[in-house]
Chains A and B, each alone.
Chain A
Amino acid sequence: MKPTDIAAPDYFHKVVDCQWACPAHTPVPEYIRLIAQGRYSDAYMINWKSNVFPGILGRTCDRPCEPACRRGRVEENPVAICRLKRVAADFKDDIKQRLPRPSPKNGKRVALVGGGPASLTVARDLAPLGYHCTVFDGDPEAGGMMRSQIPKFRLPNSVIDEETGYILGLGVDFKGGHRIESMKSLLAEKYDAIFVGSGAPRGRELDIPGRKEAAANIHIGIEWLANVSFGHVDKIGKRVIVLGGGNTAMDCCRTARRLGGEKVTVVVRSGFEEMKASPWEKEDALHEDIPILNYMVPVAFKHVAGKLIGVTFQKVKAEYDAKGRRNLVPSGEPDETIVCDDVLVAVGQENAFPWIEQDCGIEFDKWHMPMVDPKTFASTNPKVFFGGDAAFGPKNIIWAVAHGHDAALSIHKMLSGEDITERPLPEVQISSQKMGIHEWSYDNDISNDKRFKVPHRDKVIALKDIRAEVELGYDVKLALGEAERCLNCDVQTVFSTSLCIECDACADICPMDCITFTDNGEESDLRQRLKAPSPRPDQDLYVSSDLKTGRVMVKDEDVCLHCGLCAERCPTGAWDMQKYFIDMTHAGSTCPTKSRSAA
Chain B
Amino acid sequence: MTYIAKPKFHHPGLKKNELGYTHRDYEGKISTLCAGCGHDSITASIIEACYELSIEPHRVAKISGIGCSSKTPDYFLGNSHGFNSVHGRMPSVLTGANLANRDLIYLGVSGDGDSASIGFGQFAHSIRRGVNMTYIVENNGVYGLTKGQFSATADRGSKSKKGVTNTDNAIDLVAIALQLGATFVARSFSGDKSQLVPLIAAAIGHKGASFIDVISPCIAFNNHAGSTKSFDYVREHNDAVNRLDVLVGRDPIAVDYAPGTVQLVEQHDGSKIALRKIDADYDPHDRLGAQTFLAKHAAKGQIVTGLLYVDPDAEDLHEHLNTVETPLNTLEADTLCPGSAVLDKINASLR
Contact = CB atoms under 8 A, between A and B. Distances in A.
B36 A561 contact: no
Contacts of B31: 509, 569
Contact of A501 (B1, B7, B34, B36): B36
B193 A532 contact: no
Given A504-B44, A505-B41, A535-B13, A571 B219 contact: yes
A508 B6 CA distance: 11
B222 to A, nearest CB: 12
Contacts of B190: 503-504
Given A503-B217, A505-B41, A508-B44, A572 B36 contact: yes
A532 B7 contact: no
A505 B14 contact: no
B35 interface: yes
Given A512-B10, A559-B11, A563-B7, A505 B2 contact: no
B190 to A, nearest CB: 8
Main secondary structure of the interface of A (DSSP, over half): loop
B200 to A, nearest CB: 15
A546 interface: no
A509 B30 CA distance: 8
Given A438-B1, A569-B35, A532 B14 contact: yes
Given A501-B231, A505-B40, A569-B36, A532 B11 contact: yes
B255 interface: no
A511 interface: yes
Interface string A511-534: 111100000000000000000110
Contact of A508 (B9, B11, B40, B231): B40
**Range, interface on chain B:** 35 or more
A444 B34 CA distance: 19
A75 B36 contact: no
A438 B5 CA distance: 13
A508 B219 CA distance: 15
Given A438-B1, A508-B40, A532 B13 contact: yes
Given A511-B9, A532-B11, A568 B2 contact: yes
A438 B193 contact: no
A565 interface: yes
Interface string B145-188: 00000000000000000000000000000000000000000000
Interface string A560-599: 0101010011111000000000000000000000000000
Contacts of A569: 2, 31, 35-36, 40
A563 B35 CA distance: 16
Nearest to A564: B4
A297 B178 CA distance: 83
Most chain A Cβ neighbours within 10 Å, of B1, B12, B217? B12
Most chain B Cβ neighbours within 10 Å, of A438, A446, A448, A511? A511
Nearest to A556: B11
Contact of A503 (B2, B7, B14, B36): B36
Contacts of B9: 74-75, 446, 448, 511-512, 561
Nearest to A535: B13
Contacts of A565: 2, 4, 6-7
Nearest to B23: A513
A569 B40 CA distance: 10
Contacts of B38: 503
A553 to B, nearest CB: 14
A416 interface: no
Interface string B6-45: 1111111111000000001000001100111110110110
Nearest to B41: A504
Nearest to B223: A501
Contacts of A563: 4, 7
Contact of B3 (A438, A508, A532): A438
B36 A571 contact: yes
B235 interface: yes
Given A438-B1, A535-B13, A571-B34, A503 B6 contact: no
A502 interface: yes
Contacts of A572: 36
A501 B12 CA distance: 29
Nearest to B231: A501
25 contacts: A75-B9, A438-B1, A438-B3, A446-B9, A448-B7, A501-B36, A501-B223, A503-B41, A503-B190, A504-B40, A504-B190, A504-B191, A505-B41, A508-B41, A509-B2, A509-B30, A509-B40, A513-B10, A532-B13, A533-B11, A548-B235, A563-B4, A568-B35, A569-B35, A569-B40
Interface of B: 1-15, 24, 30-31, 34-38, 40-41, 43-44, 190-191, 193, 217, 219, 223, 231-232, 235
Given A503-B41, A565-B2, 7 more contacts: A509-B40, A511-B6, A513-B14, A548-B235, A561-B9, A565-B6, A568-B35
